[in-house]
Chains A and B, each alone.
Chain A
Amino acid sequence: MIEVKKVNKSFTLFNQNNAKITVFKNLNFEVNPGEIVALKGPSGIGKSSILKMIYGSYIIDKGAIIINNKNIATLSAQEILKLRKTSIGYVSQFLKVIPRISALDVIMEPLLNSGDNKNNAYKKSIKLLKDLNIEKNLWHLSPLTFSGGEQQRINIARGFIKDLPYLLLDEPTASLDSRNRDIIINLIKAKSNRGVSIIGIFHDEYSRKKLNVREIDLNIETKH
């Protein structure tokens, strides 16, 4: 379960006349095992910021985010690294990788880093590449040369390859055609059926409906 409790978040932009932007005041919600929660609200309201706070990429000003009985707000850097490795999958909006590394290696990496053996990691990754409908002749090329939709699927593969109890998805179905969107939706459903707690940002009504999400409207949650 993920619990977001009385969270405040603001940004101070020192180089822009110390402008202070308040994103949330007293944000509260929770996500149960097997549940898919969709964050809803206009662009700029802070949907991605919530995912980043849960992942530890953004500092939490006040309040608590509890995962595995641990409060992200008070964990040290190495404790967050460990929690990410063992528990939290994050699919960012854009793929960030070192040039030259092949798509297959990009996907295998999280498994190898957790001590999985190479043969096993290879088999799992190949299966996922096939499930995701990525053509075989691309597997050994750097994903930086791929189309937007292909890059997004590699990014998803990297986030989905491990069996982790929490998943954070930042627009996983954007830039995909309808066929590939359905493939991703089924993968997300499968994760949910296995009890994974999922928080996502889904830009389209279709995905939200198919995934049977519980919506959290940030327009209402953050009115202050």
Chain B
Amino acid sequence: MIIPLLKVTNLSKSYDNIVGCKNISMSLYPGEVLGIVGESGSGKTTLINCLSGNLEPDRGKIIFNINNKETDFLNISESEKRKFIRTDLAFVHQNPRDGLRLNVSAGGNIGEKLMSVGYRHYGNIRSLATKWINKVEIDKSRIDDLPITFSGGMLQRLQIAKNLITSPNVIFMDEPTGGLDVSVQARVLDLIRSLVNELNLTVIIVSHDLAVIRLLADKMIVMKNGTVIESGLSDQVLEDPQQEYTQLLVSSVLHV
């Protein structure tokens, strides 16, 4: 019996009278990619913000089980929580400018992240950073340049490198290809997919683009008005949706 890496039970969060997400329960296993879809305002971002420690939920349980060590995420001290977020979780923002410091060099952005988990040797940091710059297909001659000189696609790849370099156990991605034009989207998708396979990453990815979910996610959940209305294998939910709203969503996709 495999133990889920992440188990969420009856998670709820509201903003005054407005429901953010309500009674969410789900499990994620090591190496799985979970897609979250739903219209804007359906609670997708609230949910991943609660799971990644950016928001404090009102009720519910979040249990991480990493290397047989159980972490009751909502019942640990603030300092333990910060350390856990730093070492075990990563968050890739839709807008790479939210996840990077633009006035610090590309290498510096990555190096900072390594230092936050205890790396001190400059030579090691530099060589790891170079390796990752290369891995996300940025020319290593750009390592000392400021991110403001990078294109949108490069910025997103740099943000991905920064997040993955410390080998986090769960990676959250909020519309990682959302702000990119289509040709760049394919490249970033390809990159995420190959890294997921190569490093056996566990990922929770929010996207309104069903094609992105289909190509990246093993499992998916569909949200509406703050609740999960349907969940299952991605191909099953997309090919044989059981709920009226999911059918509407799937049938609304334009095919080129």
Chain A residues with a Cβ under 8 A of chain B: 11, 13-15, 52, 56-59, 77-78, 80-81, 96-101, 109, 112-113
Contact = CB atoms under 8 A, between A and B. Distances in A.
Contacts of A98: 186, 189-190, 193, 215
Contacts of B116: none
B215 A15 contact: no
Contact of B240 (A59, A81, A96): A59
B30 to A, nearest CB: 10
Contacts of A78: 2, 29, 32, 219
B190 A59 contact: no
Contact of B197 (A80, A81, A100, A113): A113
Contacts of B251: 15
Contact of A57 (B194, B231, B235): B235
Interface of B: 2, 29, 32, 186-187, 189-190, 193-194, 197-198, 214-215, 218-219, 231-233, 235-236, 239-240, 242-244, 247-248, 251
A59 B247 CA distance: 14
A81 B247 CA distance: 23
A109 B218 CA distance: 15
Given A98-B186, A98-B189, A101-B190, A81 B233 contact: yes
A77 B239 contact: no
Contacts of A96: 214-215
A97 B193 CA distance: 11
Contacts of A81: 32, 218-219, 233
Nearest to A90: B235
Contacts of A13: 247
A109 B197 contact: yes
B115 to A, nearest CB: 32
A59 B215 CA distance: 20
22 contacts: A14-B243, A14-B244, A14-B248, A15-B248, A56-B233, A57-B240, A58-B236, A59-B236, A77-B231, A77-B236, A78-B32, A78-B219, A81-B219, A97-B215, A98-B189, A98-B215, A99-B186, A100-B186, A100-B187, A101-B190, A101-B194, A113-B197
The 3 A-B residue pairs with the shortest CB-CB distance in the complex, in nearest-first order: A14-B244, A99-B186, A58-B240
